[in-house]
């Protein structure tokens, strides 16, 4: 069982967790009494067997604010599991949702199915051409630093949208611009030959993204899915998105629906975003589509600004250090508690993974600060022109 650092609503088990309970919601008070310690070699032959180990409540698996500390521990310590209070205290309210990460990865998954050849706007450009321009503007003004990584994946550009080509078109997706420091020229060269021709294997594209987005506790993964319709290749993109999110990829998916006409298609795309804690933005015309990408640009700069603040904040690291030590100590106590029960091995193995994740998250933060703190002023100065360009672009001037 993997430790799932979810940004999601906490279940009913948390009400029990707050009271110090360690059991699922349907456990009775009588069942929750601790058993007598296991006897040694001198125990009587007819000693009562140990009780079965209780299940861990969901709050042990969840980490809504992605700060590396299980929600169970945060609740016991009277912290808000929905907010990374350390980073908000150090960098202000604008830092909500930011992280002190080693890598901030952004992958655009671009619909190149046949319907994207449809035309919109006064100039009657194709949706494909408009989408290419928006993605290009986005990468043009992204911060050009090593910590930021960008790539483009496309689907629907193999074969055509006839039944005869369905199998070919549905079976292929392509990474047309590999993950790396944002490179506008490289993105332009990758986008130029892309033509809208085939079917829409959205589920396959999301599944394939796992090959390019690292499954590391110190990375933040963000997918921007641009689509003008739903899955047309018999896949289940919501299930695949949920599976990706419920691993250590911690991948959030924002969806930009471009000229989506059918209400059921809109709801299906909304569900992809919702299952990962992402946003769905409906763009029915060119202006709305461009505004959606302007908002994404400002959001990306907000994440980067928070990262700059976090790297240079000594109080932030002290806050994280204390929380990590508290979380490790509490996890070790839970391991000791579970060792008193029969069949507690599975819970103990899970708790050991949780403990390792807490430690690795803090080690990753230390590496980020060691690597970048000495250069943070230089990095900020070097990116200032891009910041102004991004702000000007977002205002439409």
Give DSSP secondary structure letters for 144-205. Answer: -STTEEEEEEEES-SS-SSGGGHHHHHT-EEEEEEEES--HHHHHHHHTT----B---HHHH
pLDDT given for residue 265 in this prediction: 92
- Classified as helix, coil or strand, 248 is coil
Domains of the chain: 13-31+51-95+313-380 (no CATH), 114-297 (3.40.50.410)
Tokens 């009562």, residue located: 48
CA nearest neighbour of 110 among 221, 213, 190 = 190
Sign of the torsion angle spanned by Cα atoms 99, 219, 245, 358: negative
Q: How far does Cα 90 stand from its chain's mean position?
A: 22
**Strand runs (DSSP E) across 243-340, as ranges?**
251-258, 280-283
Over the Cα atoms of the chain, what is R_g? 24
pLDDT of amino acid 99: 84
CA angle (266 as vertex; 172, 214 as ends), nearest 5: 45
Supply the pLDDT for residue 141: 94
CA atoms of 298 and 141, how far apart (whole Å): 10
Neighbouring CB atoms inside 10 A of 77's CB total 14
- pLDDT for position 96: 85
CA distance 9 to 241: 17
pLDDT in tens, 180-233: 999 999 999 999 999 999 999 999 999 999 999 988 778 889 999 999 999 999
Residue 222 token pair: 């963000």
Q: What is the DSSP string of 30-50?
A: TTTSPPPPPP-TTS-TTPPPP
If one counts every other C-beta atom within 10 angstroms of the C-beta of residue 153, the result is 23
- Assigned token pair, 31: 């069942």
Contact 118, 228 (CB under 8 A): yes
**Rounded to an integer, what distance in angstroms lies between the CA atom of residue 77 and that of residue 243?**
30
Secondary element (H or E) of residue 120:
strand 119-120
User: Residue 370: which region, alpha, beta or left (left: phi > 0; alpha: psi -120 to 50)?
Assistant: alpha
Distance CA 257, CA 51 (A): 53
Which burial class, exposed, middle or buried, applies to 89 when counting CB atoms under 10 A from its CB (0-12, 13-18, 19+)?
middle
pLDDT at site 12: 38
Please list the pLDDT of the chain residue by residue as tens digits (397 residues).
444 444 433 333 333 333 333 333 333 333 334 433 333 333 333 445 578 999 999 899 888 888 889 999 999 999 999 889 999 999 999 888 788 888 999 999 999 999 999 988 777 899 999 999 999 999 999 999 999 999 999 999 999 989 999 999 999 999 999 999 999 999 999 999 999 999 999 999 999 999 999 887 788 899 999 999 999 999 999 999 998 887 755 688 999 999 898 889 999 999 999 998 899 999 988 899 999 999 999 999 999 999 999 998 989 999 999 999 999 999 999 999 999 999 999 999 999 999 999 999 999 999 998 889 888 999 999 899 898 989 888 887 4
The reply to whether the predicted model has a pTM over 0.85 is no
pLDDT at 49: 56
């Amino acid at each position: 069982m993997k430790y799932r650092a979810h940004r999601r609503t906490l279940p009913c088990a948390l009400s029990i967790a707050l009271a110090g309970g360690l059991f699922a919601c349907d456990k009775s008070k009588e069942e929750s009494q601790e058993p007598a310690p296991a006897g040694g070699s001198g125990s009587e032959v007819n000693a009562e067997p140990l009780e079965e180990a209780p299940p861990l409540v969901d709050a042990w698996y969840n980490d809504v604010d992605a700060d590396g500390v299980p929600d169970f521990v945060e609740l016991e310590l009277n912290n808000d599991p929905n907010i990374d209070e350390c980073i908000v205290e150090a960098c202000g309210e604008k830092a909500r949702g930011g992280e002190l990460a080693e890598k901030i990865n952004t992958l655009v998954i671009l619909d190149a199915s046949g319907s994207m050849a449809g035309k919109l706007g006064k100039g009657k450009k194709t949706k494909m051409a408009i989408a290419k321009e928006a993605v290009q503007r986005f990468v043009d003004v992204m911060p050009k630093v090593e910590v930021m990584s960008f790539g483009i994946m496309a689907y629907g550009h193999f074969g055509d949208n006839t039944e005869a080509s369905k199998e070919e078109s549905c079976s292929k997706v392509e990474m047309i611009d590999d993950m790396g420091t944002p490179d506008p020229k490289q993105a332009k060269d990758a986008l130029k030959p892309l033509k809208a021709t085939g079917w829409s294997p959205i589920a396959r594209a999301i599944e394939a993204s796992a090959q390019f987005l690292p499954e590391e506790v110190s990375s933040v993964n963000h997918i921007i899915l641009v689509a003008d319709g739903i899955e047309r290749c018999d896949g289940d993109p919501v299930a695949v998105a949920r599976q990706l999110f419920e691993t250590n990829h911690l991948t959030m998916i924002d969806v930009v629906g471009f000229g989506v006409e059918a209400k059921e298609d809109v709801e299906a795309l909304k569900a992809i975003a919702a299952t990962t804690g992402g946003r769905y933005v409906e763009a029915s015309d060119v202006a709305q589509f461009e505004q959606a990408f302007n908002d994404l640009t400002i959001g990306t700069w907000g994440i980067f600004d928070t990262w700059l603040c976090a790297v240079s904040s000594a109080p932030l690291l002290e806050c994280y250090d204390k929380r990590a030590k508290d979380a490790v100590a509490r996890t070790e106590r839970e391991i000791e508690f579970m060792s008193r029960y029969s069949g507690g091995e599975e819970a103990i193995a899970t708790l050991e993974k949780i403990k390792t994740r807490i430690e690795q998250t803090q080690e990753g933060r230390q590496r980020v600060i060691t690597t970048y703190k000495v250069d943070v002023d230089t990095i900020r100065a070097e990116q200032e022109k891009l910041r102004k360009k991004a702000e000007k672009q977002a205002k439409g001037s």
